[in-house]
Amino acid sequence: MTGTPASPGPETTAKPLVAGFIYPDHAAEDDYPLAEKLLGGDVALPVEHIYGTDLHAVAELLDLGSPARLAEGAALLAPHNPAAVVWACTSGSFVYGWDGAAEQVAKLSAAAGGLPASSTSFAFVRAAAALGLRKVAVAASYPDDVSTLFVEFLGRGGVEVLSMSAADIDTAAEVGELSPDAVVELIVSRDHPEADAVLVPDTAMRTLSLIDTVEQRLGKPVLTANQVTVWEGLRLAGATPRVQGLGALFHQEGA
């Protein structure tokens, strides 16, 4: 007996790729909806906030990146059903050192139910490797002692820092208030002639709308904190689209 063919069901719309981000306090989180817009409708980049002091000082940064705070962030992200989660804070991850930052990420993954997890500090190392960068200049907004810890972290990841400048800005809120012209000048003025790229390690700094401008000025790649964080989240979630407007990192083959 031949049955009647089933009628086709309703047309389904592909769900967007979701990478979730835990962002400390408030400063430059509007970089994430900007990235989402540039990446198109196939990507969702939800951001949830955790709160602590925004002081760029070691003890305060260790508290900000503590397992309890990141577990709180993972719980806030859970309703978004992300495919991966990233701690969107550079100083609150590299301040733990390489091994401590790896343990931080492992605990975040566990708190997120086993999802792939990472942090902005590891995102810098992996983005540099993806672009084949070996020698870099660092344009840091932090005080010198905190900036030095980032240099040490990069060294553990195989990235040599030829020059590092610290703008000595005490809080993330102050960084978030920098004008676009001030951000461009901070980055361009910290270049080194032999550096393969300039790294800008503060997620409190609005940079996504400026990356192409700065790369054109310098004639080399620029990696910024929110840029590499978005890239890392998408990489862990399963895709890194090639798009215009987010710098050389999003132009590479395989992205």
CATH of the domain at 195: 3.40.50.12500
Tell me which of 1 and 114 has the higher pLDDT: 114
- 42-53 pLDDT, tens digit per residue, is 899 999 999 887
Q: What is the pTM of this model?
A: 0.91
Helix or strand run (H / E) with residue 172: helix 172-176
d(CA 66, CA 74) in angstroms, rounded, equals 12
Token readout for 127 is 């983005």
Range of the domain at 115: 17-250
d(CA 175, CA 183) in angstroms, rounded, equals 9
Residue 227 lies in a domain: yes
Residue 8 lies in a domain: no
d(CA 35, CA 43) in angstroms, rounded, equals 9
Residue 107 lies in a domain: yes
Residue 7 lies in a domain: no
Q: Which residue has the tokens 């566990």?
A: 110
Residue 12 lies in a domain: no
- 67-119 pLDDT, tens digit per residue, is 999 999 999 999 999 999 999 999 999 999 999 999 999 999 999 999 999 99
Residue 10 lies in a domain: no
The distance of Cα 118 from the centroid of its chain, to the nearest Å, equals 9
Domain count, the chain: 1
Residue 1 lies in a domain: no
